[in-house]
Amino acid sequence: MFSRSTLLHLRIPFSYFLLPVFLFAVAISPNLIQDRLLWVLIILHVFLYPASNGYNSYFDKDEKSIGGLKNPPPVSGGLYWISLILDAVAVVMGAIKLSFLFSAMVLLYGLVSKAYSHPIVRLKKYPVAGWLVTGVFQGFFTFMMCYVGINNFYVGSMFQTEALVPAILTSFMLWANYPMTQVYQHEEDARHGDMTMSRMLGIRGTFVFSGLFFGITTLGFIWYFVHFYHFRQAGAFLLALSPVVLYFGYWFWRVMQDGRNADHTHAMRLNLISATCLNAFFVWLLFDTGNLGQYLF
């Protein structure tokens, strides 16, 4: 059941690209608890995300590059069952180690992620709905899931301004980035009959749309850091994102010269730069705000 193909399609290293959401929640958490922090990290990045990757790979059966796999091998029947087992482990561990609220959120995330590729629903074929749902659940919802799990909070805590604003900004960041993860898959998506957001926008339109949305998102983050923290954090955020902006501009220039440059290699490189810069910034923010010092000492 657990073949090399199955392991590859779980795309465990791909969880690194989603790590900024967890680290953002950690950086602003008022009640860091060591055991809870580690369990949230493990449940999401070792079980939940790989389960989602594997399940969607099983139903997509892509023959060309996908996120985290340039040359995906054929999927096996074992991938389907392994993904369900990992999902179940995430839900059970969430209930045992954290809370029933966290476990319920893990379950809901898993169900929505399955709807993205399952043939009965297949959100992937609806450009705007797929884009909106993905941004909400990989952004806002995941941030809240981390925030609740790390701090041992209940439902009411999710409606406080200190949590709502960063959760909303997280979704905006996902909405800006998500079409860029689809820009190299137009041919494969057309073969499946999926009209993704990027395919609807076109290659150049994807870059323009994501660039504009990224600009709006950046302004939102600047307002957030100035309002809740200080100009120092806003300036550091802009500095951290500068490599992302430079590479995005360089890639767009290459695509304008030749549309074939909208490929998997450039997309994964942008994801890597973006995730690394954001991860570094949120770790710095954790130190800068003094949360880590209180946690350690």
Which of 66-70, 96-100, 127-131, 221-225 is predicted least confidently? 66-70
Q: Which of 12-21, 36-45, 149-158, 254-263 has the highest mean pLDDT?
A: 36-45
State how far the Cα of 175 lies from the Cα of 44, in Å rounded to an integer: 20
The confidence score (pLDDT) of residue 254 equals 95
- Alpha-carbon torsion 229, 233, 238, 244, what sign? negative
Which of 112-116, 202-206, 212-216 is predicted least confidently? 112-116
The confidence score (pLDDT) of residue 10 equals 83
The confidence score (pLDDT) of residue 296 equals 47
Predicted confidence (pLDDT) at residue 71 exceeds the cutoff of 80: no
State how far the Cα of 174 lies from the Cα of 63, in Å rounded to an integer: 25
The confidence score (pLDDT) of residue 292 equals 56
Predicted confidence (pLDDT) at residue 38 exceeds the cutoff of 60: yes
3-class DSSP state for residue 69? strand
Contact assessment for residue 240 and residue 278, using Cβ atoms and an 8 Å cutoff: yes
The confidence score (pLDDT) of residue 168 equals 97
**CA-based nearest residue to 134, from 178, 103, 182, 183:** 178
Q: What is the pLDDT of residues 130-159, one digit of tens each?
A: 999 999 999 999 999 999 999 988 887 788
> Which CATH number does the domain housing residue 76 bear?
1.10.600
Q: What is the mean pLDDT of residues 193-219?
A: 93
Q: What is the mean pLDDT of residues 51-72?
A: 76
Q: Kindly indicate the confidence band of residue 283, based on its pLDDT and cuts at 50, 70 and 90.
A: very high
Predicted confidence (pLDDT) at residue 4 exceeds the cutoff of 80: no
Q: What is the mean pLDDT of residues 266-274?
A: 94
The confidence score (pLDDT) of residue 192 equals 78
Predicted confidence (pLDDT) at residue 297 exceeds the cutoff of 90: no
SS3 content of the chain, % helix, strand, coil (to 5): 80, 0, 20
Q: Where are the alpha helices (DSSP H) in 66-202?
A: 77-97, 100-117, 127-135, 142-151, 161-177, 186-192, 197-201
Q: b/e map of 124-146 (b: 16 or more CB within 10 Å)? A: bbbbeebbbbbbbbbbbbbbbbb
Looking at every residue in the chain, the average pLDDT score rounds to 90
Residue 10 belongs to domain spanning = 4-296
Q: What is the mean pLDDT of residues 29-55?
A: 92
State how far the Cα of 210 lies from the Cα of 239, in Å rounded to an integer: 19
The confidence score (pLDDT) of residue 65 equals 62
Question: In a 10 Å sphere around its CB, with 0-12 CB exposed, 13-18 middle and 19+ buried, how is residue 252 labelled?
Answer: buried
Predicted confidence (pLDDT) at residue 2 exceeds the cutoff of 80: no
The confidence score (pLDDT) of residue 244 equals 96
Q: What is the mean pLDDT of residues 178-202?
A: 88
Q: In sequence order, which residues have a C-beta less than 8 Å from that of residue 200 and are 6 or more positions away?
A: 127, 128
**Total-model pTM:** 0.92
Predicted confidence (pLDDT) at residue 291 exceeds the cutoff of 70: no
Q: Left, alpha or beta for 121 (phi > 0: left; psi -120 to 50: alpha)?
A: alpha
Instruction: Report the number of distinct structural domains present in the chain.
Output: 1
